């Protein structure tokens, strides 16, 4: 059986630079940084005191309060992004009340950490007030697959439904796995992406103890500086990105606007270290190569790579090596950027947000910049689109993500050609 073609018909965003996809894209192109001092808790005695917090998010626009309080915040973010994605795609908010087959609609919306608010809150209740006072909703609100479960209930979707956890590669892996589900004809429509609520005391303290985060607390707008020689760590951020993937003929039959095509997905493991990427870049390069094999494309066909580009010393150096291995001499002709200078690092949501950025790049034929680039690093010597967006023809765009544990994921998008 020939594999089905898979297209993108919608997407939705909640981010520190905008709570919809339009504001998100404008911020990326204009390089408007969304990072600032942490306000969600007193971080004055933390090593890192800055983050990318969601602003002006009002769940009552989407849900009654009594329903919202049964969800952890990462699920609320996913729901808001899912609603925007469905509306853009012209799809119903309840598939069971539509003419579409709800058993052919699936969800893969993942999180790197899950319900950290519920975890820490209920843990405090346990030790301060006893086991009988722990909420009966504690477990459903904690577990990382709750976003997929909550969305499937809200939308009446009864197709493949799961969440996966691969740290900061979770969102990218989710979109790739959803692509395969449609390719093999197990669903016609998939909502896929990632969501995270990482600006919480335990997360910030843990990452800070690892010395993985920037300590430019006096200058948050310039703290995340991917590929710059003076980068000193990532800046944690919240967010959610949900993408609508659809089988091509299904989308055409209902007259959907097709935004891009998904043509390749590669996943690999470093088998090297719990936090550091492979220092030779071999694992990540292999994910690129697998994705290009499935896309039936040559390395020279690639136009743009949205890099993981976390602004940590090791990631940016080793990712540069991986891109060189995967693309050879063509690596120096690629347009590359890391949008994390603008958005910070939304962990399990990062790949989803950056896949959406790839589709927007194809739609607009504009490369979003890597902001805060001041001092070149000789070991990061590719064209990283410094500081200013660039117009150029983009037929193929790839998103690359790496996660703690050695998880690598690449998804390739192509300008739709019928």
Q: What Rg do the C-alpha atoms of the chain give, in angstroms?
A: 20
- In this chain, the answer to whether the domains covering 7-253 and 264-414 adopt an identical fold is yes
The residue length of the chain stands at 418
- Reading the block at residue 345, the tokens are 């690092």
State the CATH architecture for 264-414. Answer: 3-Layer(aba) Sandwich (3.40)
Domain chopping of the chain, boundaries: 7-253, 264-414
- pLDDT, tens digit, 9 for 90 and up, residues 259-290: 999 999 999 999 999 888 888 899 999 999 99
pLDDT score, position 65: 87
Outline where 51-184 has alpha helix (H).
65-68, 73-89, 116-129, 138-142, 146-155, 170-183
- Alpha helices by DSSP H, 184-238: 201-209
Answer CATH for 7-253 from 3.40.50.300, 3.40.47.10, 3.30.750.24, 3.40.50.720? 3.40.47.10
Catalytic residue positions? 168, 308, 345
Q: Is residue 187 a contact partner of residue 158, using CB atoms and an 8 Å limit?
A: no
pLDDT tens profile 288-333: 999 999 999 999 999 999 999 999 999 999 999 999 999 999 999 9
Which residues, other chains included, contact 402 with Cβ-Cβ below 8 Å and sequence gap of 6+? Answer: 168, 169, 277, 284, 308, 315, 319, 408, 409
- Kindly tell me the number of DSSP H helices and DSSP E strands found in the chain: 13, 13
Query: What is the C-alpha to C-alpha distance for residues 49 and 193, in angstroms, rounded to an integer?
Result: 28
Question: Average pLDDT in the 92-101 region?
Answer: 96
- At residue 2, the pLDDT reads 74
| Average pLDDT estimate for 232-261 | 98
Report which secondary-structure segment, H or E, holds 398. strand 396-403
377-391 pLDDT, tens digit per residue, is 999 999 999 999 999
Per-residue pLDDT at 44: 96
- State mean pLDDT over 243-258: 98
Mean pLDDT rounded to a whole number for the chain? 96
Closest CA to 291 of 169, 404, 399, 402: 399
Name the pLDDT band for 255 (thresholds 50, 70, 90). Answer: very high
Q: What percent of the chain has pLDDT over 90?
A: 95
| pLDDT band (50, 70, 90) for residue 418 | confident
The tens digit of pLDDT for each residue in 221-237 reads: 999 999 999 999 999 99
Instruction: Specify burial of residue 65 (Cβ count, 10 A radius: 0-12, 13-18, 19+).
Output: exposed
Confidence of residue 1 (pLDDT cuts 50, 70, 90): low
pLDDT tens, 164-212? 999 999 999 999 999 999 999 999 999 999 999 999 999 999 999 999 9
Give pTM, 2 decimals: 0.97
**Interhelix angle for 170-183 vs 350-364, to 10°?**
70
> Percent of the chain beyond pLDDT 70?
100
Q: Which helix (H) or strand (E) holds 408?
A: strand 407-414
């Amino acid at each position: 059986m020939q594999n089905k073609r898979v297209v993108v018909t919608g997407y939705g965003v909640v981010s520190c630079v905008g709570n919809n996809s339009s504001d998100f894209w404008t911020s990326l192109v204009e390089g408007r940084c969304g990072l600032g001092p942490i306000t969600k808790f007193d971080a004055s005695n933390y090593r890192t005191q800055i983050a990318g917090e969601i602003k002006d998010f009002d769940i009552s626009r989407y849900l009654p309060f009594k329903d919202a309080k049964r969800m952890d915040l990462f699920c609320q973010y996913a729901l808001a992004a899912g609603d925007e994605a469905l509306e853009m795609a012209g799809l119903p908010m309840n598939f069971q009340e539509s003419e579409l087959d709800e058993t052919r609609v699936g969800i893969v919306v993942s999180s790197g950490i899950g319900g950290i608010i519920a975890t820490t809150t209920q843990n405090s209740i346990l030790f301060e007030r006893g086991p009988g006072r722990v909420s009966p909703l504690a477990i459903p609100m904690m577990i990382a697959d709750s976003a997929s479960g909550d969305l499937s209930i809200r939308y009446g979707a009864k197709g493949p439904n799961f969440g996966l956890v691969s740290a900061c590669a979770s969102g990218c892996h989710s979109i790739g796995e959803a692509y395969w589900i449609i390719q093999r004809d197990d669903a016609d429509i998939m909502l896929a992406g990632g969501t995270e609520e990482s600006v919480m005391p335990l997360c910030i303290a843990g990452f800070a103890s690892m010395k993985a985060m920037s300590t430019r607390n006096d200058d948050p707008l310039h703290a995340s500086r991917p590929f710059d020689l003076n980068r000193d760590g990532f800046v944690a951020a919240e967010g959610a990105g949900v993408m609508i993937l659809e089988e091509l003929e299904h989308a055409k039959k209902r007259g959907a606007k097709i935004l891009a095509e998904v043509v390749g997905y590669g996943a690999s493991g470093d088998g090297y270290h719990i936090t550091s990427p492979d220092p030779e870049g071999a694992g990540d390069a292999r994910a690129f190569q697998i994705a290009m094999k499935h896309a039936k494309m040559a390395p020279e066909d690639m136009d743009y790579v949205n890099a993981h580009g976390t602004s940590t010393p090791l990631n940016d150096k080793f990712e540069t090596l991986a891109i060189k291995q995967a693309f050879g001499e063509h690596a120096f002709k690629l347009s590359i950027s890391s949008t994390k200078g603008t958005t910070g690092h939304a962990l399990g949501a990062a790949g989803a947000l950056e896949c959406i950025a790839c589709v927007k790049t194809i739609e607009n034929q504009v490369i979003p910049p890597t902001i805060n680039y001041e001092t070149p690093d000789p070991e990061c010597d590719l064209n990283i689109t410094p500081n200013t967006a660039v117009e150029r023809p983009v037929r193929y765009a790839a998103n690359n993500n790496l996660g703690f544990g050695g998880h690598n994921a690449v998804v390739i998008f192509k300008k739709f050609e019928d």
